[in-house]
Amino acid sequence: MINAICVVSAAAIRKEPSHRSEMTSQLLFGEIVQVLDEKEEWRKIKCHYDGYEGWLTFHLIEEVNDEVVINSNRYVTTGLLNPATLPDSLVNLPMGSSLTGFDEETRLLWDDKHKYHGTYRNTTNPTYNEDLFWNTIQPWMNAPYLWGGRTFMGVDCSGFVQTVYKVLGIPLLRDAYQQATQGVPVEDLMVAQSGDVAFFENENGKITHVGIILQGEQIIHASGKVRIDVLTDKGIFNKESNTQTHKLHSIRRMVRI
């Protein structure tokens, strides 16, 4: 089994081994993958963090040993953009990147070549408090929607929720319907709390959207862009268009508050 690590800010994961194939997700810097298959310059990978599979080119990853894998998701970046350096170059890391092998004293990463200079959290013990939560979500406002995206340069609804919760130290799966299997159910909106995750369904009852509940019957979600809208027991109400845009399916609590 070959393990590898992402060595760029964000690597596109594609459905098929082709640059023309749709991007289904992104691998963030420092995240570990298992290499499942090879096809010319392409590698089929399985993400260590969430089990997601897809294809990317070999230029974006480097092989690592098992010891590096063990030390992968303990520390994560917390700023929207975070500097790391090599001896002769700079890499800017998005929020939620894994500081694999991070040494808090030297600030060196797994290869002793990358040195981290930004803000970070030790996520060994999952944490939720309103200040941490708000400081994590607020910088994302107005980030553009991008199918498969996980960074502030472009993010989809489940990628946004997953990355926010990664900073909190709570691993979530990649897609909305998968995330809806995690945590514990919340009976209804009346007893929901800030930080709970709300899921929304299409006309066929399939979960297709997700967002994070805020205080005051509001929700932050990626729809066109990362935005805050009104949440009712029926779904999301957009004041700008004066319409209900998403039908509420269920609410889950991912962390004990």
C-alpha span between 54 and 43 (Å, rounded):
8
For 242, the token pair is 């004066």
**CA dist 242 → 229, 236, 245, 251 (Å):** 11, 11, 9, 23
The predicted pLDDT at position 202 comes to 96
Mean pLDDT across the chain? 95
Alpha-carbon torsion 126, 251, 214, 118, what sign?
positive
For the stretch 64-90, pLDDT in tens is 998 888 877 799 999 999 999 999 999
Contact 35, 27 (CB under 8 A): no
Active site residues: 157, 209, 221
Instruction: Return the CA Rg of the chain.
Output: 18
Q: Is the pLDDT of residue 251 over 60?
A: yes
For the stretch 37-46, pLDDT in tens is 999 999 999 9
Residues with Cβ within 8 Å of 87's Cβ and at least 6 positions away in sequence, in order, are 113
Q: Is the pLDDT of residue 257 over 70?
A: no
Q: Is the pLDDT of residue 106 over 90?
A: yes
The residue-averaged pLDDT of 48-68 equals 96
The residue-averaged pLDDT of 192-219 equals 96
For the stretch 116-172, pLDDT in tens is 999 999 998 887 788 899 999 999 999 999 999 999 999 999 999 999 999 999 999
pTM across the whole model: 0.96
